[in-house]
Structure 1
C-alpha cells in the first residue's frame, strides 16, 4: 500500500464496517509481533483490525543501516496515510512501546482521526522514572550467533522474570520475521536513530480521546511506575496492570487484553 508517499505493508482482519483498531508496534518490530491469532481474536469481537510494518521493518520501505530517512512525525503521518488509504475516518489507536509516541502524535495532532487511545508497555519519557533493570540491560546486550537468536534473546530479556515466555513460539515467529524483512540490519538499528520530534499540539495532558494504559507488572524496560505515570499524565485515563507480565503481551493474557480493548473501544 502507498501511504504518505512511501510503500507500507498493511494487513487487515475482520469487517471494514466494524469500528477500526489500528495496531502500531514498537522499535524494530514488524507487524508479525501483533500475532495473527491475536488480531483474529480482536476481529471476532466486532472490530476491523489493522496491523502494518513500520518503515524499516518487514516488507515496508527500507533505508540504509544507520541512515533512516524519516523522523517520528513521518511515522505519525504514515499511520494517517494508512487510515486514508483504507477509507477509515476514525480509528481506535493502540501504540506499543516506542510507538506510544506515534499514538501520542496521532492523539494530539490528529485528534479528529482518533476514537480512542491505548498505550501498551510505554512511557511518558520522564527521566525521573525508574530506569531499565540491570538484568534486562545485561541480557539484552549479550552477543548472539544470528539475527534469529538475537531476536529471541532480546524478547527473552523483554519478558524479564515473567513465567509466560514461550521460546519455541518466539523463535518460530523470529524465523518468519527475518525471512520477510527487506534489510534486517536496518530493522534492528534505524528506529533507534530517528529524531523524536514530538507532537506540535502539546503532550499527554492535551489528549482528549478516551485513554487506556496497559502495563505489565514485571516490565523490565519501563517498570510499572512508567505506566502509572502515563495514566496520571492523560486526563481521565485508566490503567490495566497485567499481572506477572514483562515488556510483552504473552498469549496467556490475551483474553484479559482483548476483553479490556473491546470494552474500551465500545465507547
Structure 2
C-alpha cells in the first residue's frame, strides 16, 4: 500500500534523459535525497522507511537512477554513460526540484555517488549518510570466502526477464547471497521485486550498472568533506566487511560510525530501522 505521505511520481527531463522521482512529506521541509545502489529502482527504499523519515520533518526524495524503473534505460549490455553521469543526474534532480541543498543518503553504489556529491558539490550537501559503502582502496578487508567462491562459480544465473516470477525468485536469491545474520524477509523482497518488475519496461537494463566506467574517484579527497557525516554499516556485510565502514569514518573528518547489528549488504532491513532512521534524522538535524 502506498503511504499517505507519498506524492505522485514525476517524470523529469534532466541531462538529456528522463528520471522518475517521488517525494514524501511536506515540500517546505528540508529535503532529504535517497540514492539507491546498483540495479535498484526507487522501490527498494521502502514506503514506510520513507514515511518515517518524512514524519521526522524531512521532505524525502527517492528516484529511479538511469536504467532502473521508469527512468531512461539503455540496451542491456550497452550503457553509454558512466558513474559520473549518475552524479550529474543527482545534481540535476535537485535543480529540477528547486532544491539548493539536501541531506543526502546513499547506499552501496549510491553511497559512492553521495561521496562524490559531497566532495565535488559541497554546497549541495547539508548532511551526508553513507550506508553499506566503502572509501575504496587496496588495504581493506576482502569479501567473505563464501561470497568469493560464489562469484568465482559465476554467481546466480540471470533469469528470463520477461517472467515475473522468475525475476522475483532471482532477486530473492540475491538477498540471501548478500544477507547478514538477520533473516531475509522473503515476503518483503517478493513484494518489492514484483513492484520493480511492474514499473520497469526493461528490468534487464539495470544490469548495466555493473558495466559502468568508474569515472573520477574521490577516494583521496574524502578529507575535504565538510558536511556532518554519518556512516551506517552492517556488522555482517559479506561484500564490504565492517572494516570498510571503519575506514570510511576515519577518512572523513568527524564522521560518526554506527554499526547496524547483523545487517548484511544492501538496504537496511526493518530490524535496524529504529537505529538507522533516528541516526539519519540526528545527523540531518546537525546539518541544518
Aligned CA-pair RMSD: 1.6
SS of match in other structure, 1:125: coil
SS of match in other structure, 1:94: strand
1:147-171 Cα offsets, whole Å, 9 max, x none, are 22111111111113x2232011111
Partners of 1:256 and 1:208 in 2: CA distance: 24
Partners of 1:134 and 1:147 in 2: CA distance: 26
Query: Is residue 2:277 matched to residue 1:258?
Result: yes
Change (3 A) 1:158 1:101: same
Determine the structure 2 residue equivalent to 1:205: 223
Change (3 A) 1:121 1:200: closer
Partners of 1:170 and 1:210 in 2: CA distance: 32
Contact 1:104 1:199 in 2 (8 A): no
Determine the structure 2 residue equivalent to 1:74: 85
Q: CA deviation at 1:137?
A: 4.0
Determine the structure 2 residue equivalent to 1:231: 249
Q: CA deviation at 1:5?
A: 2.2
Contact 2:94 2:100 in 1 (8 A): yes
Change (3 A) 1:144 1:8: closer
Determine the structure 2 residue equivalent to 1:142: 156
Query: Is residue 2:113 matched to residue 1:95?
Result: no
TM, length-normalised to structure 1: 0.95
State the number of aligned residues: 265
Partners of 2:208 and 2:149 in 1: CA distance: 22
Determine the structure 2 residue equivalent to 1:155: 175
Partners of 1:49 and 1:200 in 2: CA distance: 26
Query: Is residue 2:209 matched to residue 1:191?
Result: yes
TM, length-normalised to structure 2: 0.88
Change (3 A) 1:108 1:201: farther
Give unmatched runs, 5+ long, in structure 2: 1-11, 160-165
Change (3 A) 1:194 1:246: same
Change (3 A) 1:89 1:192: same
After superposing on structure 2, the runs of 4+ consecutive aligned residues of structure 1 that deviate more than 3 Å are 137-140, 142-145, 199-202
SS of match in other structure, 2:194: helix
Partners of 2:213 and 2:157 in 1: CA distance: 27
Q: CA deviation at 1:220?
A: 0.6
